[in-house]
A and B are shown apart, each in its own frame.
Chain A
Amino acid sequence: MSGMWTYFTRRLLLVPVTFIVITFIVYAVLRITPGGPIQQLENQMRAAAAGEAGGGGGGLGGESVGLDEKARDELKAYYNLDQPIPLAYLQWLGVYPKKTRTPVTLEYRRDDADFWQQSQQLWNDYREAEHRLQQSLIDGDLLVSGDTILIEVTAADRSRFPEKLNQADQLLAGGVSSRSQLNRLLSGLGWSLSGSRFMRPITTQESGEAGIAAVCQRQLLVQEDSYRSLQQHLLPLNIEPNRNGSYYHVKNALSGILQGDFGRSFTYNKDALTVIISKFPISIYFGLIGYLATWLVCIPLGISKAIRHRGAFDTATSVLVFLGYATPGFVACLLLLVLFGGGSYWNLVPLGGFRSPDWNQWWQQGQYLTCAIDQIKHTLVPMFGYLVGSFASMTVLMKNSLLDNLGADYVRTAFAKGLTERRVIYVHALRNSLIPITAGIGHFLGLLFAGSFLIEKVCNIPGMGLLGYESIIRRDYPIILATLVIGVLIRLTGNIFSDLIWALIDPRIRFK
């Protein structure tokens, strides 16, 4: 047994090495591949400009559209693309400090004195920055210059903006729901709206749920020029406003995947890990069901084929196997959707998705049967796709494995003992031939989490596969890399898990 532990310890120690090699290669390739986030942004701008130019009679025609050099540099710095690849990799890994921007929501408990003391220094900085901002606002520095600043005001901010905020408070008491209403309110105050954020007063329910007496929350939407002047105010304090108007505290620190920081998704603007984890249950659901279906079909089929090797049944099902081998799973899904998805033929299954939009409602109303039927209908087509995808290889593996064992010497011994054919096949040979299939369970783990993006795309399942695919198209580096990290870790540990299973089910395996 000690040999086994040495073996697995050694295998585990190899995991980080393999992990670093794989992630570094992918990281470097990603950085080298053209079409990064900045280029994507420029493409979008170009497309938008082209659209406008078409609509407006070609007023902007010929003018080059894109980011100026300075904006591009800023963006590069923001995405950490200004560092050389090896350094950036180390920073991503979290073993070399990088300039981190911690978003700061100015939200605190006013009645909680401890909190103030605990983070006194940071808060002093913020409060000074806030103070300067307020001064600027009240003195009219920024407003006078024609800039527009939108401040989200909460009830608790009253004391800080004594006069105008009182007015705002009165006006906002009823809540703001539409942009035009907001514009009206703001113009009454002599302010105007910029960007697309809504102003929102805190509701009593919210403050109750959060357990806080009052919330001071503000977001600044800043135009280009005022962004610069804000910067001048805030940079000496290591606080950097971004274009969305959030506060960031900037410092050099270790912040990579080792610290659990997978970065923020460019497209979802959320923590990459959070985005991925939200997709897990869906992929696991379909992966597990698909794999179970594969086992339930392929193992009995493989056994029957091996027993009737070269018989009529074997030949007939071989046609199926070849058909399955030649048909990718997603094509089978497409075919089924065309036939049964309610187009020209039958309307038996929905066109895709995880559940119907009303599912949660049905569930709350206690219509569990409806829920179950709906879930099954949504499951059938993808399950079939997964089944087709691994049908051929699994069936042939099972058949060949059993066939090999049926020809083994120990099977002849078992027959010579006078055992029944059933016992020889299902006890002696089957136990041996299931070993390679059971040991594939580690690979299956990887499959579970990864999903098949083509099937997910065709069946419109919002799972891991689709997420990975879309993030590659959008060059959403944090998501791509986070998917990679999770995938690599699952596969590496999955392989070790396979070995462990193998050692458990095959008494011959010994580790020396």
Chain B
Amino acid sequence: MAMEPKTNPPSKSAELLLQIKDLHTSFSVEGQTARAVDGVDFDIHAGEVLGLVGESGCGKSVTALSLLKLIPDPPGCIEKGSAIFKGRDLLSLTYDEMRSIRGREIAMIFQEPMTALNPVFTIGFQMREAIQHHTGVSKQEAIGRSVEMLEKVGLSDARARMSSYPHQFSGGMRQRVMIAMALSLEPALLIADEPTTALDVTIQAQILELMLEMKEQQQGASILLITHDLAVVAETCDRVVVMYGGKIQEVASVRQLFRQPKHPYTQGLLRSLPRPDLDRKQEQLETIPGMVPNIFDWPKGCRFCTRCPLVEDRCRTHEPALKKVGEGHEVRCHLVNDEDGGDS
């Protein structure tokens, strides 16, 4: 899969599919409040693949789950914000309105294909129940559609495999089934939460390629790809949102992000990638020192100040704002000047 980082960030004129504003989601655990998502704004355009990148616990999965109101409540709670999808605010929909969005307009696939399918029902049953539920077609039609989707995702002998149980499939196969299931109703947005993390490296590329292929078949469909793997981002995404500590730290096109990373955290992430293409032999892979701060007690200033190699006093006391530094490129750092190409 020799896909170059995409060079054309979608123009402003591209249709806005989803606009997230000031999203706050928190969890109360034993009297303490974990502000997992703490004021997140970003847009998804029709037809683009947006990467949401960050370490475990940075709030990227919670952001995605909040969009479909899949946050377990209690302990979770979407405190404020809005997510305008096709003119409607997802976060203020009623339960039944939300259900008609889930699966039909916005579908989701998860990290663990091993456990994301119900172990006691056949693949066929799980495939067709959403189709029947949303469209009200007959069982035969739903089966036909399911078989068609399974064939599209590359399952041989799809009709026979409809009566198999999830445990009879390999991890990669299950993720293919999940993709087939998610795309069977041609949703406008597919949220993929670390879809390849639990898979073998050789399978990962196949699954990513399959996702893009399926997206191409469905004109105008967008993908929100949540991952911690920058290699995956480079190969699949158009734009990238980098999250750390419940906040967005940098938004950029893939090209900008890899060529001119502005935020010290993004730079750290890129440095910790193995680079076999560079001449110099690295004795040891670089890492970002320290640990993600306690989610119950974020640092007062910049969320990254506890680990930042360039930290200054103001970073510890004042939180930087998200600043625009170029076309479609925003960074949250005191050390970056507005509209400045300097690499701090």
Give the Cβ gap from B117 to chain A, nearest Cβ, in Å. 6
Q: How many residues of B contact A (CB 8 A)?
A: 30
Q: Cβ of B103 and Cβ of A417 under 8 Å apart?
A: yes
- Chain B residues contacting A420 (CB-CB under 8 Å) are 99, 133
Q: Cβ of A416 and Cβ of B103 under 8 Å apart?
A: yes
| Interface flags, A400-422, vs B, CB<8A=1, else 0 | 00000001111011111111110
| Interface flags, A420-432, vs B, CB<8A=1, else 0 | 1101000010011
Q: Cβ of B130 and Cβ of A418 under 8 Å apart?
A: yes
Nearest residue (CB) in A for B107 is: A416
Give the Cβ gap from A254 to chain B, nearest Cβ, in Å. 50
Give the Cβ gap from A164 to chain B, nearest Cβ, in Å. 82
Q: Cβ of A413 and Cβ of B116 under 8 Å apart?
A: yes
Give the Cβ gap from A310 to chain B, nearest Cβ, in Å. 7
Any chain A CB within 8 A of the CB of B68?
yes
Q: How far is the CA of A412 from the CA of B129 in the complex (A)?
A: 15
From B100, B110, B165, B178, contact of A507 by CB (8 A):
B165
Q: Give the interface size bracket for A toward B.
A: 20 to 34
Any chain B CB within 8 A of the CB of A70?
no
Any chain A CB within 8 A of the CB of B118?
yes
- Chain A residues contacting B99 (CB-CB under 8 Å) are 418-420
Give the Cβ gap from A15 to chain B, nearest Cβ, in Å. 29
Q: Cβ of A417 and Cβ of B129 under 8 Å apart?
A: yes
Q: Which of B71-117 contact A (CB under 8 A)?
A: 72, 74, 95, 99-104, 107-108, 110, 112, 115-117
Q: Cβ of B102 and Cβ of A431 under 8 Å apart?
A: no
Q: Which of A112-157 contact B (CB under 8 A)?
A: none
Instruction: Tell me the interface secondary structure of chain A in the complex.
Output: helix
Any chain B CB within 8 A of the CB of A506?
yes
Q: How far is the CA of A237 from the CA of B118 in the complex (A)?
A: 75
Q: Cβ of A507 and Cβ of B167 under 8 Å apart?
A: yes
Nearest residue (CB) in B for A506 is: B120
Any chain B CB within 8 A of the CB of A508?
yes
Give the Cβ gap from A412 to chain B, nearest Cβ, in Å. 6
Q: How far is the CA of A15 from the CA of B110 in the complex (A)?
A: 45
Any chain A CB within 8 A of the CB of B300?
no
| Interface flags, A32-56, vs B, CB<8A=1, else 0 | 0000000000000000000000000
Q: Cβ of A413 and Cβ of B107 under 8 Å apart?
A: no
Q: Cβ of A408 and Cβ of B115 under 8 Å apart?
A: yes
Give the Cβ gap from B88 to chain A, nearest Cβ, in Å. 15
- Chain B residues contacting A428 (CB-CB under 8 Å) are 118, 121
From A310, A418, A432, A435, contact of B118 by CB (8 A):
A432
Q: Cβ of B115 and Cβ of A419 under 8 Å apart?
A: no
Any chain A CB within 8 A of the CB of B154?
no
Nearest residue (CB) in B for A310 is: B74
Q: Cβ of A410 and Cβ of B117 under 8 Å apart?
A: yes
Q: Cβ of B167 and Cβ of A410 under 8 Å apart?
A: no
Q: How far is the CA of A507 from the CA of B103 in the complex (A)?
A: 26
Q: How far is the CA of A428 from the CA of B178 in the complex (A)?
A: 16
Given that A409-B112, A507-B165, A508-B165 are known contacts, is A417 also in contact with B119, CB under 8 Å in the complex?
no
From A418, A419, A508, contact of B119 by CB (8 A):
A508
From B68, B112, B115, contact of A416 by CB (8 A):
B68
Q: Which of A167-188 contact B (CB under 8 A)?
A: none
- Chain A residues contacting B134 (CB-CB under 8 Å) are 418
- Chain B residues contacting A505 (CB-CB under 8 Å) are 120
Give the Cβ gap from A503 to chain B, nearest Cβ, in Å. 12
Q: How far is the CA of A505 from the CA of B108 in the complex (A)?
A: 29
- Chain B residues contacting A507 (CB-CB under 8 Å) are 119-120, 165, 167
Q: How far is the CA of A395 from the CA of B197 in the complex (A)?
A: 38
- Chain B residues contacting A431 (CB-CB under 8 Å) are 118, 120-121
Q: Cβ of A409 and Cβ of B129 under 8 Å apart?
A: no
Nearest residue (CB) in A for B125 is: A427
Q: How far is the CA of A431 from the CA of B101 in the complex (A)?
A: 26
Give the Cβ gap from B111 to chain A, nearest Cβ, in Å. 9
Nearest residue (CB) in B for A419 is: B133
Nearest residue (CB) in B for A407 is: B72
Give the Cβ gap from A417 to chain B, nearest Cβ, in Å. 4
Any chain A CB within 8 A of the CB of B181?
yes
- Chain B residues contacting A409 (CB-CB under 8 Å) are 110, 112, 115-116
Return 10 A-B CB contacts under 8 Å, by A number: A409-B112, A410-B115, A410-B118, A413-B110, A416-B68, A418-B102, A419-B130, A431-B120, A432-B120, A507-B119
Q: Which 7 A-B pairs have the closest CB atoms?
A: A418-B103, A418-B102, A417-B130, A409-B115, A417-B103, A410-B118, A507-B165
Which B residues lie at the A interface, using CB under 8 A?
68, 70, 72, 74, 95, 99-104, 107-108, 110, 112, 115-121, 129-130, 133-134, 165, 167, 178, 181
15 more A-B residue pairs beyond the given contacts A410-B115, A417-B102, A507-B165, with a C-beta to C-beta distance below 8 A: A408-B115, A412-B116, A413-B108, A413-B117, A416-B103, A417-B130, A418-B100, A418-B103, A419-B99, A419-B103, A428-B118, A431-B120, A432-B120, A508-B165, A508-B167
